[in-house]
Structure 1
Amino acid sequence: MGGLLALSRGIDRMNTLIGRSVSWLILVAVFVSAVNAVIRKVFSISSNAWLELQWYLYGAAFLLAAAYTLLENEHIRIDILYGYWKRRTQHWIDLIGHVFFLMPFCLVSIWLIWPWLMRSYRGGEMSMNAGGLILWPAKALLLAGFVLLFIQGISEIIKKIAVMRGIIPDPHPDTGHHVPPAIDEEMRLATGFAEDDARGETRK
Protein backbone atom coordinates (compact mmCIF):
# COMPACT_ATOMS: atom_id res chain seq x y z
CA MET A 1 0.00 0.00 0.00
CA GLY A 2 2.98 2.28 0.60
CA GLY A 3 3.86 2.35 -3.08
CA LEU A 4 0.28 3.17 -4.06
CA LEU A 5 0.14 5.99 -1.52
CA ALA A 6 3.39 7.38 -2.92
CA LEU A 7 1.79 7.29 -6.38
CA SER A 8 -1.27 9.06 -4.97
CA ARG A 9 0.87 11.80 -3.43
CA GLY A 10 2.67 12.30 -6.72
CA ILE A 11 -0.64 12.62 -8.60
CA ASP A 12 -1.93 15.08 -5.99
CA ARG A 13 1.18 17.25 -6.28
CA MET A 14 0.94 17.29 -10.06
CA ASN A 15 -2.73 18.24 -10.17
CA THR A 16 -2.27 20.81 -7.41
CA LEU A 17 0.46 22.51 -9.44
CA ILE A 18 -1.62 22.39 -12.63
CA GLY A 19 -4.83 23.52 -10.92
CA ARG A 20 -3.27 26.48 -9.16
CA SER A 21 -1.36 27.50 -12.28
CA VAL A 22 -4.28 27.42 -14.72
CA SER A 23 -6.47 29.44 -12.34
CA TRP A 24 -4.49 32.46 -13.54
CA LEU A 25 -5.93 31.91 -17.00
CA ILE A 26 -9.20 33.38 -15.75
CA LEU A 27 -7.40 36.66 -15.08
CA VAL A 28 -5.79 36.50 -18.53
CA ALA A 29 -9.22 35.88 -20.09
CA VAL A 30 -10.65 38.90 -18.27
CA PHE A 31 -7.71 41.03 -19.48
CA VAL A 32 -8.17 39.87 -23.09
CA SER A 33 -11.89 40.56 -22.87
CA ALA A 34 -11.32 44.06 -21.49
CA VAL A 35 -8.68 44.97 -24.10
CA ASN A 36 -10.84 43.59 -26.90
CA ALA A 37 -13.84 45.61 -25.70
CA VAL A 38 -11.82 48.84 -25.48
CA ILE A 39 -10.30 48.38 -28.95
CA ARG A 40 -13.71 47.58 -30.42
CA LYS A 41 -15.34 50.66 -28.88
CA VAL A 42 -12.49 53.12 -29.46
CA PHE A 43 -11.12 52.00 -32.83
CA SER A 44 -14.11 50.02 -34.17
CA ILE A 45 -11.78 47.06 -34.71
CA SER A 46 -12.66 43.54 -33.69
CA SER A 47 -11.54 40.00 -34.42
CA ASN A 48 -13.14 36.63 -33.95
CA ALA A 49 -9.74 35.31 -32.95
CA TRP A 50 -9.74 37.49 -29.83
CA LEU A 51 -13.28 36.45 -28.98
CA GLU A 52 -12.45 32.77 -29.38
CA LEU A 53 -9.24 33.19 -27.38
CA GLN A 54 -11.37 34.18 -24.40
CA TRP A 55 -13.29 30.91 -24.37
CA TYR A 56 -10.08 28.99 -25.08
CA LEU A 57 -8.59 30.46 -21.91
CA TYR A 58 -11.73 29.93 -19.84
CA GLY A 59 -12.10 26.38 -21.18
CA ALA A 60 -8.47 25.61 -20.34
CA ALA A 61 -8.93 26.83 -16.76
CA PHE A 62 -12.16 24.86 -16.31
CA LEU A 63 -10.97 21.61 -17.87
CA LEU A 64 -7.43 21.48 -16.51
CA ALA A 65 -8.54 22.43 -12.99
CA ALA A 66 -11.31 19.81 -12.80
CA ALA A 67 -8.93 17.24 -11.32
CA TYR A 68 -7.72 19.75 -8.72
CA THR A 69 -11.35 20.46 -7.81
CA LEU A 70 -11.87 16.74 -7.18
CA LEU A 71 -8.67 16.64 -5.11
CA GLU A 72 -9.92 19.50 -2.93
CA ASN A 73 -13.36 17.87 -2.60
CA GLU A 74 -15.02 21.00 -3.97
CA HIS A 75 -17.06 19.37 -6.75
CA ILE A 76 -20.83 19.77 -6.66
CA ARG A 77 -22.79 16.92 -5.09
CA ILE A 78 -26.27 16.26 -6.42
CA ASP A 79 -27.46 14.29 -3.39
CA ILE A 80 -28.17 16.86 -0.68
CA LEU A 81 -28.62 14.05 1.86
CA TYR A 82 -24.97 13.05 1.51
CA GLY A 83 -23.89 15.34 4.34
CA TYR A 84 -26.23 13.65 6.84
CA TRP A 85 -24.75 10.18 6.49
CA LYS A 86 -22.02 8.86 8.75
CA ARG A 87 -18.52 9.50 7.42
CA ARG A 88 -17.91 5.80 6.73
CA THR A 89 -21.09 5.65 4.64
CA GLN A 90 -19.87 8.71 2.76
CA HIS A 91 -16.57 6.93 2.08
CA TRP A 92 -18.43 3.98 0.58
CA ILE A 93 -20.57 6.28 -1.56
CA ASP A 94 -17.48 8.09 -2.82
CA LEU A 95 -15.59 4.86 -3.50
CA ILE A 96 -18.47 3.29 -5.41
CA GLY A 97 -19.02 6.53 -7.32
CA HIS A 98 -15.37 6.78 -8.31
CA VAL A 99 -15.02 3.14 -9.36
CA PHE A 100 -18.31 2.62 -11.17
CA PHE A 101 -19.15 6.09 -12.48
CA LEU A 102 -16.20 8.52 -12.58
CA MET A 103 -13.56 6.14 -13.96
CA PRO A 104 -15.72 4.52 -16.69
CA PHE A 105 -17.04 7.95 -17.72
CA CYS A 106 -13.51 9.31 -18.06
CA LEU A 107 -12.33 6.24 -20.01
CA VAL A 108 -15.25 6.40 -22.44
CA SER A 109 -14.73 10.14 -22.91
CA ILE A 110 -10.99 9.69 -23.61
CA TRP A 111 -11.74 6.85 -26.04
CA LEU A 112 -14.25 9.00 -27.96
CA ILE A 113 -12.26 12.24 -27.91
CA TRP A 114 -8.96 10.77 -29.17
CA PRO A 115 -10.01 9.97 -32.79
CA TRP A 116 -12.06 13.18 -32.91
CA LEU A 117 -8.97 15.16 -31.91
CA MET A 118 -6.73 13.30 -34.38
CA ARG A 119 -9.09 14.03 -37.28
CA SER A 120 -9.12 17.69 -36.33
CA TYR A 121 -5.32 17.83 -36.02
CA ARG A 122 -4.57 16.03 -39.28
CA GLY A 123 -7.11 18.06 -41.19
CA GLY A 124 -5.99 21.39 -39.73
CA GLU A 125 -9.59 22.11 -38.73
CA MET A 126 -10.29 25.82 -38.36
CA SER A 127 -13.10 27.78 -36.76
CA MET A 128 -16.08 28.41 -39.01
CA ASN A 129 -15.98 32.07 -37.97
CA ALA A 130 -14.01 34.43 -40.21
CA GLY A 131 -10.56 35.01 -38.75
CA GLY A 132 -11.17 32.40 -36.06
CA LEU A 133 -8.60 30.13 -34.43
CA ILE A 134 -7.52 26.61 -35.22
CA LEU A 135 -9.71 24.12 -33.36
CA TRP A 136 -7.56 21.13 -32.44
CA PRO A 137 -5.91 22.83 -29.40
CA ALA A 138 -9.36 23.29 -27.85
CA LYS A 139 -10.14 19.62 -28.41
CA ALA A 140 -6.75 18.70 -26.96
CA LEU A 141 -7.67 20.61 -23.80
CA LEU A 142 -10.81 18.51 -23.54
CA LEU A 143 -8.75 15.32 -23.78
CA ALA A 144 -6.18 16.59 -21.28
CA GLY A 145 -8.93 17.50 -18.82
CA PHE A 146 -10.38 13.98 -18.83
CA VAL A 147 -6.93 12.37 -18.62
CA LEU A 148 -6.07 14.46 -15.54
CA LEU A 149 -9.47 13.71 -14.01
CA PHE A 150 -8.97 9.97 -14.60
CA ILE A 151 -5.52 10.07 -13.01
CA GLN A 152 -6.88 12.00 -10.03
CA GLY A 153 -9.65 9.42 -9.73
CA ILE A 154 -6.97 6.76 -9.26
CA SER A 155 -5.45 8.84 -6.46
CA GLU A 156 -8.82 9.34 -4.78
CA ILE A 157 -9.59 5.60 -4.88
CA ILE A 158 -6.20 4.81 -3.32
CA LYS A 159 -6.71 7.39 -0.56
CA LYS A 160 -10.30 6.35 0.06
CA ILE A 161 -9.32 2.71 0.60
CA ALA A 162 -6.41 3.75 2.81
CA VAL A 163 -8.67 5.96 4.94
CA MET A 164 -11.29 3.22 5.31
CA ARG A 165 -8.57 0.79 6.41
CA GLY A 166 -7.21 3.30 8.93
CA ILE A 167 -3.84 3.62 7.20
CA ILE A 168 -4.01 7.40 6.70
CA PRO A 169 -6.17 10.11 8.32
CA ASP A 170 -9.23 11.38 6.49
CA PRO A 171 -8.09 14.39 4.39
CA HIS A 172 -11.65 15.81 4.46
CA PRO A 173 -13.11 14.86 7.87
CA ASP A 174 -15.63 17.70 7.91
CA THR A 175 -17.18 16.97 4.52
CA GLY A 176 -20.74 18.25 4.53
CA HIS A 177 -23.06 19.66 1.92
CA HIS A 178 -23.73 22.90 0.08
CA VAL A 179 -27.27 23.47 1.32
CA PRO A 180 -28.11 26.99 2.61
CA PRO A 181 -29.02 27.14 6.35
CA ALA A 182 -32.75 27.76 5.78
CA ILE A 183 -33.07 24.88 3.35
CA ASP A 184 -30.85 22.81 5.60
CA GLU A 185 -33.27 23.16 8.51
CA GLU A 186 -36.27 22.38 6.28
CA MET A 187 -34.55 19.22 5.07
CA ARG A 188 -33.73 18.16 8.60
CA LEU A 189 -37.37 18.58 9.63
CA ALA A 190 -38.64 16.81 6.51
CA THR A 191 -36.34 13.83 6.92
CA GLY A 192 -36.79 13.50 10.68
CA PHE A 193 -33.20 14.32 11.58
CA ALA A 194 -34.30 17.16 13.86
CA GLU A 195 -36.58 14.81 15.79
CA ASP A 196 -33.78 12.28 16.12
CA ASP A 197 -31.51 15.00 17.50
CA ALA A 198 -34.17 16.05 19.98
CA ARG A 199 -34.60 12.48 21.20
CA GLY A 200 -30.85 12.22 21.55
CA GLU A 201 -30.71 15.37 23.66
CA THR A 202 -33.55 14.06 25.85
CA ARG A 203 -31.70 10.82 26.45
CA LYS A 204 -28.68 12.79 27.56
Structure 2
Amino acid sequence: MQALLRLSRGVDWLNTQVGKIVIWLILGSAGISALNAIVRKVFDTSSNAFLEVQWYLFAASFLLAAGYTLLQGEHVKVDVLSSRFAKRTQIWIEIFGFLCFLTPMCLAVLWYGTPFFLRGLASGEMSSNAGGLIRWPVYLMIPAGFTLLLLQGWSELIKRVAFLQGLIEDPTAKKAEKSAEEELAEAIRNLAEAAKGSSQNKTLGS
Protein backbone atom coordinates (compact mmCIF):
# COMPACT_ATOMS: atom_id res chain seq x y z
CA MET A 1 0.00 0.00 0.00
CA GLN A 2 2.90 2.38 0.68
CA ALA A 3 4.10 1.89 -2.90
CA LEU A 4 0.59 2.60 -4.16
CA LEU A 5 0.42 5.74 -2.05
CA ARG A 6 3.70 6.93 -3.58
CA LEU A 7 2.17 6.30 -7.00
CA SER A 8 -0.91 8.25 -5.91
CA ARG A 9 1.20 11.20 -4.80
CA GLY A 10 2.99 11.15 -8.16
CA VAL A 11 -0.31 11.24 -10.05
CA ASP A 12 -1.57 14.05 -7.79
CA TRP A 13 1.60 16.04 -8.50
CA LEU A 14 1.28 15.46 -12.25
CA ASN A 15 -2.33 16.62 -12.42
CA THR A 16 -1.55 19.59 -10.18
CA GLN A 17 1.14 20.74 -12.61
CA VAL A 18 -1.16 20.18 -15.58
CA GLY A 19 -3.88 22.19 -13.84
CA LYS A 20 -1.51 25.10 -13.25
CA ILE A 21 -0.54 25.15 -16.93
CA VAL A 22 -3.97 24.54 -18.42
CA ILE A 23 -5.51 27.49 -16.58
CA TRP A 24 -3.44 29.74 -18.85
CA LEU A 25 -5.16 28.22 -21.89
CA ILE A 26 -8.43 29.80 -20.74
CA LEU A 27 -6.73 33.18 -20.55
CA GLY A 28 -5.25 32.59 -24.00
CA SER A 29 -8.64 31.64 -25.42
CA ALA A 30 -10.20 34.77 -23.97
CA GLY A 31 -7.38 36.92 -25.36
CA ILE A 32 -7.69 35.44 -28.84
CA SER A 33 -11.44 35.90 -28.72
CA ALA A 34 -11.03 39.58 -27.79
CA LEU A 35 -8.38 40.09 -30.49
CA ASN A 36 -10.60 38.42 -33.09
CA ALA A 37 -13.52 40.65 -32.12
CA ILE A 38 -11.39 43.80 -32.39
CA VAL A 39 -9.99 42.80 -35.79
CA ARG A 40 -13.47 41.98 -37.06
CA LYS A 41 -14.91 45.31 -35.91
CA VAL A 42 -11.99 47.53 -36.90
CA PHE A 43 -10.83 45.89 -40.13
CA ASP A 44 -14.05 44.10 -41.09
CA THR A 45 -12.22 40.81 -41.53
CA SER A 46 -11.77 37.58 -39.62
CA SER A 47 -10.24 34.14 -39.90
CA ASN A 48 -11.57 30.65 -39.28
CA ALA A 49 -8.17 29.84 -37.77
CA PHE A 50 -8.82 32.42 -35.03
CA LEU A 51 -12.22 30.90 -34.35
CA GLU A 52 -10.98 27.32 -34.32
CA VAL A 53 -7.96 27.93 -32.11
CA GLN A 54 -10.37 29.29 -29.50
CA TRP A 55 -12.28 26.05 -29.25
CA TYR A 56 -9.02 24.07 -29.52
CA LEU A 57 -7.80 25.84 -26.39
CA PHE A 58 -11.16 25.46 -24.68
CA ALA A 59 -11.25 21.74 -25.49
CA ALA A 60 -7.72 21.34 -24.16
CA SER A 61 -8.50 23.21 -20.94
CA PHE A 62 -11.69 21.19 -20.38
CA LEU A 63 -10.23 17.75 -21.11
CA LEU A 64 -6.72 18.13 -19.67
CA ALA A 65 -8.03 19.67 -16.44
CA ALA A 66 -10.54 16.86 -15.79
CA GLY A 67 -8.03 14.97 -13.64
CA TYR A 68 -7.08 18.11 -11.74
CA THR A 69 -10.75 18.86 -11.15
CA LEU A 70 -11.23 15.37 -9.70
CA LEU A 71 -8.17 15.89 -7.49
CA GLN A 72 -9.76 19.06 -6.11
CA GLY A 73 -13.10 17.28 -5.54
CA GLU A 74 -14.92 19.70 -7.82
CA HIS A 75 -16.71 17.24 -10.10
CA VAL A 76 -20.48 17.27 -9.73
CA LYS A 77 -21.67 14.62 -7.28
CA VAL A 78 -25.19 13.65 -6.31
CA ASP A 79 -24.56 13.56 -2.57
CA VAL A 80 -28.06 14.38 -1.32
CA LEU A 81 -28.39 10.84 0.00
CA SER A 82 -24.76 9.85 0.57
CA SER A 83 -24.11 12.90 2.76
CA ARG A 84 -26.47 11.41 5.35
CA PHE A 85 -24.36 8.27 5.69
CA ALA A 86 -21.34 7.73 7.91
CA LYS A 87 -17.96 8.75 6.47
CA ARG A 88 -16.85 5.15 5.87
CA THR A 89 -20.07 4.41 3.99
CA GLN A 90 -19.50 7.51 1.83
CA ILE A 91 -15.98 6.30 1.08
CA TRP A 92 -17.28 2.86 0.05
CA ILE A 93 -19.80 4.52 -2.28
CA GLU A 94 -17.00 6.51 -3.91
CA ILE A 95 -14.84 3.38 -4.26
CA PHE A 96 -17.77 1.69 -6.01
CA GLY A 97 -18.12 4.70 -8.30
CA PHE A 98 -14.43 4.76 -9.23
CA LEU A 99 -14.40 1.03 -9.97
CA CYS A 100 -17.75 0.57 -11.69
CA PHE A 101 -18.34 3.90 -13.42
CA LEU A 102 -15.27 6.12 -13.84
CA THR A 103 -12.78 3.40 -14.79
CA PRO A 104 -14.97 1.65 -17.42
CA MET A 105 -16.03 5.00 -18.89
CA CYS A 106 -12.43 6.21 -19.25
CA LEU A 107 -11.30 2.90 -20.73
CA ALA A 108 -14.15 2.96 -23.24
CA VAL A 109 -13.28 6.50 -24.36
CA LEU A 110 -9.61 5.57 -24.68
CA TRP A 111 -10.52 2.41 -26.64
CA TYR A 112 -12.43 4.42 -29.24
CA GLY A 113 -10.72 7.81 -28.91
CA THR A 114 -7.10 6.72 -29.38
CA PRO A 115 -7.63 5.16 -32.86
CA PHE A 116 -9.68 8.25 -33.78
CA PHE A 117 -6.68 10.45 -32.93
CA LEU A 118 -4.22 8.15 -34.73
CA ARG A 119 -6.32 8.18 -37.91
CA GLY A 120 -6.42 11.97 -37.85
CA LEU A 121 -2.66 12.11 -37.27
CA ALA A 122 -1.88 9.66 -40.09
CA SER A 123 -4.17 11.34 -42.61
CA GLY A 124 -3.23 14.91 -41.70
CA GLU A 125 -6.93 15.73 -41.56
CA MET A 126 -7.66 19.43 -41.97
CA SER A 127 -10.68 21.49 -41.02
CA SER A 128 -13.36 21.66 -43.70
CA ASN A 129 -13.60 25.42 -43.10
CA ALA A 130 -11.59 27.73 -45.34
CA GLY A 131 -8.37 28.71 -43.59
CA GLY A 132 -9.07 26.20 -40.82
CA LEU A 133 -6.52 24.29 -38.77
CA ILE A 134 -5.18 20.75 -38.77
CA ARG A 135 -7.35 18.49 -36.64
CA TRP A 136 -5.05 16.01 -34.89
CA PRO A 137 -3.89 18.35 -32.08
CA VAL A 138 -7.42 18.68 -30.77
CA TYR A 139 -8.07 14.95 -31.29
CA LEU A 140 -5.00 14.31 -29.10
CA MET A 141 -6.79 15.97 -26.19
CA ILE A 142 -9.23 13.03 -26.01
CA PRO A 143 -6.74 10.25 -25.07
CA ALA A 144 -4.54 12.68 -23.13
CA GLY A 145 -7.39 14.09 -21.05
CA PHE A 146 -9.01 10.75 -20.28
CA THR A 147 -5.65 9.18 -19.42
CA LEU A 148 -5.09 11.90 -16.83
CA LEU A 149 -8.64 11.46 -15.54
CA LEU A 150 -8.24 7.68 -15.31
CA LEU A 151 -4.93 8.00 -13.45
CA GLN A 152 -6.48 10.48 -11.03
CA GLY A 153 -9.43 8.18 -10.50
CA TRP A 154 -7.07 5.37 -9.54
CA SER A 155 -5.16 7.77 -7.29
CA GLU A 156 -8.38 8.68 -5.50
CA LEU A 157 -9.26 5.00 -5.22
CA ILE A 158 -5.88 4.25 -3.60
CA LYS A 159 -6.32 7.09 -1.11
CA ARG A 160 -9.78 5.93 -0.09
CA VAL A 161 -8.65 2.35 0.45
CA ALA A 162 -5.72 3.66 2.50
CA PHE A 163 -8.11 5.79 4.55
CA LEU A 164 -10.27 2.75 5.32
CA GLN A 165 -7.11 1.00 6.51
CA GLY A 166 -6.29 3.93 8.78
CA LEU A 167 -3.09 4.84 6.90
CA ILE A 168 -3.99 8.40 5.90
CA GLU A 169 -6.40 11.15 6.85
CA ASP A 170 -9.72 11.70 5.10
CA PRO A 171 -8.83 12.32 1.41
CA THR A 172 -12.19 14.03 0.81
CA ALA A 173 -11.48 16.81 3.30
CA LYS A 174 -10.88 20.14 1.60
CA LYS A 175 -7.32 21.45 1.92
CA ALA A 176 -6.71 25.14 2.51
CA GLU A 177 -4.50 25.62 -0.55
CA LYS A 178 -4.56 28.12 -3.38
CA SER A 179 -6.50 26.94 -6.40
CA ALA A 180 -5.07 27.18 -9.92
CA GLU A 181 -7.43 30.10 -10.54
CA GLU A 182 -6.11 31.94 -7.48
CA GLU A 183 -2.51 31.28 -8.53
CA LEU A 184 -3.29 32.59 -12.03
CA ALA A 185 -4.82 35.78 -10.61
CA GLU A 186 -1.76 36.25 -8.38
CA ALA A 187 0.59 35.71 -11.33
CA ILE A 188 -1.29 38.31 -13.39
CA ARG A 189 -1.11 40.80 -10.50
CA ASN A 190 2.63 40.19 -10.14
CA LEU A 191 3.19 40.72 -13.87
CA ALA A 192 1.17 43.94 -13.78
CA GLU A 193 3.11 45.22 -10.76
CA ALA A 194 6.44 44.30 -12.39
CA ALA A 195 5.46 46.12 -15.59
CA LYS A 196 4.34 49.15 -13.59
CA GLY A 197 7.59 49.19 -11.61
CA SER A 198 9.63 48.92 -14.82
CA SER A 199 7.72 51.80 -16.37
CA GLN A 200 8.27 53.99 -13.30
CA ASN A 201 12.00 53.21 -13.29
CA LYS A 202 12.29 54.22 -16.94
CA THR A 203 10.45 57.47 -16.20
CA LEU A 204 12.76 58.29 -13.31
CA GLY A 205 15.80 57.42 -15.36
CA SER A 206 14.82 59.78 -18.14
TM superposition score category, shorter chain reference: 0.7 to 0.9
How far residue 78 of structure 1 moved from its aligned partner, in angstroms, is 3.1
The answer as to whether partners of 2:11 and 2:151 remain within 8 angstroms in 1 is yes
* Map of 1:140 onto structure 2: 140
Q: Which string of whole-angstrom CA distances, capped at 9 and with x for unpartnered residues, describes residues 92-130 of structure 1?
A: 110000011101111111010111111111111111111
1:45 aligns with 2:45: yes
- The offset of 1:136, in angstroms, is 0.8
Cα deviation, 1:34-79, whole Å, max 9, x if unaligned, reads: 0000000000110000001001111111111000111111100134
- The corresponding residue for 2:76 is 76
Matches within 5 A, 1:6-155: 6-155=6-155
CA distance in 1, matches of 2:80, 2:30: 33
Shift of 1:80: 2.7
The answer to whether the Cα contact below 8 Å between 2:114 and 2:142 also exists between their aligned partners in 1 is no
Structure 1's consecutive aligned runs of 4 or more residues displaced over 3 angstroms after TM superposition are none
Q: Please state how far the C-alpha of 1:133 moved relative to its aligned partner.
A: 0.7
Structure 1 residues without counterparts, runs of 5 or longer: 175-204
Counterparts of 1:103 and 1:53, CA distance in 2 = 30
1:134-159 superposed Cα distances (whole Å, 9 cap, x missing partner): 11111101110001011111111110
Give the partner amino acid of 1:104: P
Structure 2: distance between partners of 1:82 and 1:39:
51
Q: Which amino acid aligns with 1:171?
A: P
Asked if 1 retains the 8 angstrom alpha-carbon contact of 2:160 and 2:171, the reply is no
Superposed displacement of residue 21, structure 1: 1.3
Tell me the equivalent position of 1:178.
none
| Inter-partner Cα distance in structure 2 for 1:173 and 1:15 | 18
Once structures 1 and 2 are overlaid, which stretch shifts more, 105-114 or 164-173?
A: 164-173
Provide the alpha-carbon RMSD of the alignment. Answer: 1.4
Q: Percent of aligned positions with the same letter in both sequences?
A: 52
Moved more, 84-93 or 160-169: 84-93
Distance in 2 separating the partners of 1:160 and 1:63: 24
Pairwise CA distance, 1:171: 2.5
CA distance in 1, matches of 2:130, 2:78: 40
Separation in structure 1 between the aligned mates of residue 14 and residue 121 of structure 2, nearest angstrom: 27
Name the counterpart of 1:190: none
Q: How many residues align?
A: 175
Question: How far apart are 1:86 and its partner, in Å?
Answer: 1.7
Using structure 1 for the length normalisation, give the TM-score.
0.83
CA distance in 2, matches of 1:62, 1:53: 14
User: AA paired with 1:84?
Assistant: R
